Structure 1
Amino acid sequence: MILEQPEVGTGECHQEHSVIKGFQGIIISTDDLTRLLPFYRDILGLGTQMQSEGFVVLGGGQIALGLHSQVRGKSRDPNRVIVNLNVDDCQAEYERLSGMGVEFIRKPSKEAPDLKIATFLDPDGNTLQLFEWV
């Protein structure tokens, strides 16, 4: 697999009559919103866009992240969905998050000539990655 930095705004639909315009957001379900929300809001620094009982929408970019409280237990297959977060300095963000107790399962490493990735887990065991295009 060859990874290349995507160019913003150049995504084209591959079907002539597609009604899909792009991604609106990602929802991560949890059995303990009071545990997961501080991780995404306070540690990762995503601002709260909307909050209601059992649901929170966080943002800071073009795609919103929703936390929903309709499941029980930790993720049984944390690699089924992986959330990738763009950062300017993968090593610095790795050090900052590690210092806050975030569990990294893979230190920053070069995955392609122009890409560094570090992989970590949220409190529910979901997999996230830091992406730095260099």
Structure 2
Amino acid sequence: MELTQIRLLVTDFPACYRFYRDVLGLIPQADDERGPYAKLSPDGGSAAIALHDRSLMTAVVGALADAPAGHRALIALRVDDLDAAHAELTARGAAFLREPVALGDRLRVAHLADPEGNLVELQEWTRALPA
């Protein structure tokens, strides 16, 4: 078995697409904010976040529960400099739920939410795990 991607089922595809492309700066495989599907990755790498229009998936699988309320997913993105990433994303219009803070003795984090309420955690690793 091989994990190929994790998809977020979204109701407002264009708003979510613009958030991941314009605010977080992820690079889309194809630049089309109309959807119904998009795969975006940092620096064009192989790891990706995929967005999928919820109504289309409802048609494919027959039924999905109502649009979820509250935070349903957390996407963790590693950055080299959390303070710099925080400043850059704030300048792009990001509204953080939690400012940069230490989380234990090896990690600093900051949190924001996408237009659908999915949490995005920016992580700066301050020291590696012991081998």
TM-score scaled by length of structure 2: 0.75
RMSD: 2.2
* Counterpart-to-counterpart distance in 2, 1:124 and 1:28: 9
Q: Per the alignment, do residues 125 and 73 of structure 1 end up closer, same or farther by CA in structure 2, a change over 3 Å counting?
A: farther
1:56 equivalent to 2:38? Answer yes
SS in 1 for 2:29: strand
The C-alpha deviation readout for 1:71-127, integer Å capped at 9, x for no partner, is 59864131x320000101111111111222212111111112121110111122211
Q: Which runs of 5+ in 2 are unaligned?
A: 56-64, 127-131
Structure having the larger proportion of residues in strand? 1
Query: In structure 1, what is the Cα distance between the partners aligned to 2:119 and 2:35?
Result: 25
Higher relative helix content: 2
**Residue 24, structure 1, aligned to residue 16, structure 2:** no
Structure 2 residue aligned with 1:69:
53
Structure 1 residues 53 and 109, CA, compared in 2 at 3 Å: closer, same or farther? closer
Unaligned runs of 5+ in 1: 1-19
Shift of 1:24: 2.1
Q: TM-score, normalised by structure 1?
A: 0.73
Percent sequence identity over aligned pairs:
31
